[in-house]
Chains A and B, each alone.
Chain A
Amino acid sequence: MLVFVINRLLQSVIVLLVMSVLVFVGIFLIGDPTAMLVSPEATDLERQMVREALGLDRSMLVQYLSFMGNALQGDFGRSFLTGQPALQLILERMPATFELVIVAMGFAVLMGVPLGMLAGMRPEAPSSRAIMALSIFGFSLPTFWIGLMLIMVFAVQLGLLPASGRGPTVEVGPLKLSLLTLQGWYHVALPALTLGLAKAALLIRVTRAATREVLPMDYIKFARAKGLPARRIFGVHLLKNIMIPILTVSGLEFGQAIAFAVVTESVFSWPGMGKLLIDSIITLDRPVVVAYVLIMVFFLVILNLVVDLLYMAIDPSSREKVRD
């Protein structure tokens, strides 16, 4: 167990290093960030000064080493554009992204699990077939297309929900949360729906498959034979046994959802860290991109580790099945 954890952490370090080199070198090659940052009216001399001030006149290797040296001490450098520490910029945006993703995943679970159980219990019923057909829609259609459609219908045509932005925030300790206000929920509705639909579709499929595997088991048959009420059979016995795959998938999908928030946030101008990533890629704000990638990789590695460990704790015999 301990060996397993250490092994995984070691691998994570390697991944972090490889990713940092890749991103750093790549963005170095694309272009000169000063071209985007410096006003076009500036003279070449002034540009040169900016380059020197940002340390861009040094060789790529020196820049990378100094970046990594600082990163090890928790300093990911300053954004070229705003001069603020890159880490701080990302952390400031993190609550918005997490709000969006948590609401989306909540929606996905609340919608996906009951529908999946329904579809799994009576696989041949027309309603189940309809659910499955819908789920194909759910994860077939690209997120951005669903988002655009929702904006057209709910924001522009019906005028029911705001098309973009985040609601007013309330400070809770160091965090700024928008979900504590009604306006906040109005704003999160469409982006969360967009992000959650694909996840709901996936959960429908996972739940259905799990239900179909559990249903023929003896204890369910036994419970039925004993004449237990259906609600108890399905609500307790069935749900308890399909919980493991659902939790695992939800956990792993949480990481996916944070990544996909990049798309959703762009469509809905949601001020999260995904939006920050796209903006930073476009403006070549290298420190922010690199910091984002490293933080995401770190987060995902930890998330996967936790999911695996939890899974091992619940079901030590079948760790290999987790990722199937």
Chain B
Amino acid sequence: MAAPMIPAAKTASPRRLLMQRFAESPLAVLGLGTLLLLLGFAALAPWVAPQNPYDIGALEIFDSQLPPGSVSEFTGTTYWLGTDGQARDVLSAMLYGMRTSLIVAVTSVLGALLIGTTIGMVAAYIGGWVDAVLMRIVDLQLSFPAILVALVLLSVLGQGVDKVILALVIVQWAYFARTARSTAMVERNREYVLAARCLNLGSRRIIFRHMLPNCLPPLIVIATIDLAHAIAAEATLSFLGIGVPVTEPSLGMLIANGFEFMMSGQYWISFFPGMALALLILAINLVGDHLRDILNPRNAQ
């Protein structure tokens, strides 16, 4: 879905223009608000969560599987969203889980953005056989379903937060590489690049100082939408039991852990993390979708 971009308008304050156009969609604004709220909660989890779910010594086993709103007989704390089978406060586990999910997703997207963009721009700038080979690799990778590649990678790498991040970087970099290349191809022939070449500036400098800023908008769009994909992918892998370890549950892991309780009516263990996951992904997509609309010249007319 990446179309060539028009360079960001060089008129006064393009940023304000962008913000104005973004505000045109109430849905996107709502999405952005939700996203910021969730991000805030996740970032501040250690301070806002009622309990530290990783401090296992503090868990009181007889408080397990309590319904939402229960009050602990031991500590007197209220479990607003209930407790899970390990006596963890679901709200706290959810906040920490969201943190894990987001850390995995953001790190992997940034990693993929970095690697993919570099490869894409280098391919576009150098051209020739380097470009051809790199793009064939990208094409090949993109023709394989990401989930399958991630699955095989994790079956090879083993479990762990770092392994999941690595697997997600590997399945995502190609999107960025292709987008960066197609944008850079357009930029390459623009006057300012030609001028820079005439001035005999170094390739590295031309690519990263001059071309990169102009290629960023579409990459940001892709990164936003990819963030949602990464969160969903991590949740799926963890649900299948080959993602993050059970002791550091992400949202997907919490849902998987709660599924067996769901059948016996203890819906809250799986339901609330599930809703948080859905909300998170949805909010990101609403923002990303609208960003794409306003940055896409074809729709802008």
Residues in chain A within 8 A of chain B (CB atoms): 11, 15, 19, 22-23, 25-27, 29-30, 133, 136-137, 140-145, 148-149, 152, 156, 252, 255-256, 258-260, 262-263, 266, 277-278, 281-282, 289, 293, 296-297, 300-301, 304, 323-324
With contact pairs A15-B140, A259-B148, A262-B148 given, residues A144 and B239 touching in the complex (Cβ less than 8 Å): yes
Closest to A146 in B: B278
Contact of B236 among A142, A293, A296 (CB under 8 A): A142
A141 contacts B242, C-beta separation under 8 Å: no
Once the chains are docked, how many angstroms separate the CA of A289 from the CA of B1? 33
- A170 to nearest B CB, angstroms? 30
Q: Which of B97-149 contact A (CB under 8 A)?
A: 136, 139-140, 142-145, 147-148
Which B residues lie within 8 Å of A256 (CB)?
A: 145
A195 → B minimal CB distance (Å): 12
Q: Which listed residue, B1, B140, B240, touches A263 by the CB 8 Å rule?
A: B240
Given A22-B152, A136-B285, the answer on whether A260 and B270 have CB atoms closer than 8 Å is no
**Does chain A have a CB within 8 A of B12?**
no
Contact status of A324 and B2, CB under 8 A, knowing A140-B282, A141-B278, A143-B236: yes
Which B residues have a C-beta under 8 Å from some C-beta of A? 1-3, 27, 136, 139-140, 142-145, 147-148, 151-152, 155-158, 228, 232, 235-236, 239-242, 252, 255, 259, 262-263, 270, 274, 277-278, 281-282, 285-286, 289
Docked Cα-Cα span, A22 to B263, in Å, equals: 39
Are A142 and B277 closer than 8 Å at their CB atoms? yes
Which 5 A-B pairs have CB atoms at the shortest separation, nearest pair first? Answer: A26-B156, A259-B145, A259-B148, A281-B155, A142-B232
Residues of A within 8 A of B232 (CB): 140-142
Q: Which residues of A contact B136 (CB under 8 A)?
A: 11
B286 and A144 form a contact (CB under 8 A): no
Nearest-CB residue, chain B, relative to A136: B285
Cross-interface CB contact of A148 among B144, B148, B158, B262, cutoff 8 Å: B262
Measured in the bound complex, the distance between the Cα atoms of B142 and A302 in whole Å is 14
- Write out the residue numbers on chain A whose beta carbons fall within 8 Å of the beta carbon of B259: 148
Out of A29, A140, A282, A323, name the residue touching B228 (CB < 8 Å): A140
A140 to B280, CA, bound (A): 10
Can you identify 7 A-B contacts, CB atoms within 8 angstroms? A29-B156, A136-B282, A136-B286, A141-B278, A142-B232, A256-B145, A277-B151
Say yes or no: A262 contacts B262, CB within 8 Å: no
What is the CA–CA distance of A252 and B142 in the complex, to the nearest angstrom? Answer: 11
Are A30 and B145 interface neighbours, CB within 8 A? Answer: no
Contact of B155 among A26, A133, A144, A148 (CB under 8 A): A26
Assuming A26-B157, A133-B27, A301-B143, is B236 touching A263 (CB within 8 A)?
yes
Residue contact B274 to A145, C-beta cutoff 8 Å: yes
Q: Which of A27, A142, A259, A266 makes the CB contact (< 8 A) with B156?
A: A27
Do B27 and A323 have beta carbons less than 8 Å apart? no
Contact A282 B241 (CB under 8 A): yes
Complex CA gap A133/B27 in Å reads 9
Q: Assess the A148–B147 pair: CB atoms within 8 A.
A: no
Binding site secondary structure of chain A: helix
- Assembly CA distance A41 to B119 (angstroms): 53
Q: A262-B151, A277-B151, A289-B155 are in contact. Are A141 and B281 (CB under 8 A)?
A: yes
Contact assessment for A260 and B274 in the assembled complex, using a CB-CB cutoff below 8 Å: no
* Given A30-B155, A256-B145, A137 contacting B1 (CB threshold 8 A): no
- CA of A324 to CA of B2 in the docked complex: distance in angstroms? 7
CA distance A285 to B280 in the complex (A): 36
Nearest neighbor of A267 in chain B, beta-carbon distance: B239
Known: A15-B140, A142-B277. A148 touches B255 (CB 8 A): yes
- For B142, what are the chain A residues with a Cβ–Cβ distance below 8 Å? 323
Known A136-B286, A141-B278, A145-B274; contact A30-B158, beta-carbon cutoff 8 A: yes
List the A side residues contacting B281 at CB < 8 Å. 140-142
Q: Are the C-beta atoms of A259 and B140 separated by less than 8 Å?
A: no
Query: How far in angstroms is the closest Cβ of chain B from A15?
Result: 6
Bound form: Cα–Cα A26–B163 in Å: 13
Partner of A266, one of B139, B148, B240: B240
Question: Given the complex of chains A and B, what is the CA–CA distance between A289 and B153 in angstroms?
Answer: 12
Establish whether residues A281 and B143, one from each chain, have CB atoms under 8 Å apart when the complex forms. Answer: no
- A262 to B155: give the CA distance in the assembly, Å: 14
Contact B1 A324 (CB under 8 A): yes
In the bound complex, CA of A278 to CA of B169 (Å):
22
* B residues near A143, Cβ cutoff 8 Å: 236
User: Contact check: which of B27, B151, B236, B263 meets A144 at CB < 8 Å?
Assistant: B236
Q: B262–A152 contact, CB under 8 A?
A: yes
Q: Is the CB of A297 within 8 A of B277?
A: no
Q: Of A140, A263, A278, A323, which one neighbours B139 at CB under 8 angstroms?
A: A323
- Least CB separation from B284: chain A residue: A140
Q: How far is the CA of A324 from the CA of B139 in the complex (A)?
A: 11
CB distance from B189 to the nearest CB of A (A): 17
The one of A15, A255, A293, A324 that contacts B152, using a Cβ cutoff of 8 Å: A293
Tell me whether A255 and B145 are in contact (CB under 8 A).
yes
Q: Which of chain B's residues has its CB closest to A25's CB?
A: B156
* A7 nearest in chain B by CB position: B136
User: Nearest Cβ distance between residue B81 and chain A, in whole angstroms?
Assistant: 18
Known: A27-B156, A30-B158, A324-B2. A296 touches B277 (CB 8 A): no
| Complex Cα gap A141–B267 (Å) | 19
Q: Do A137 and B262 touch (CB < 8 A)? A: no
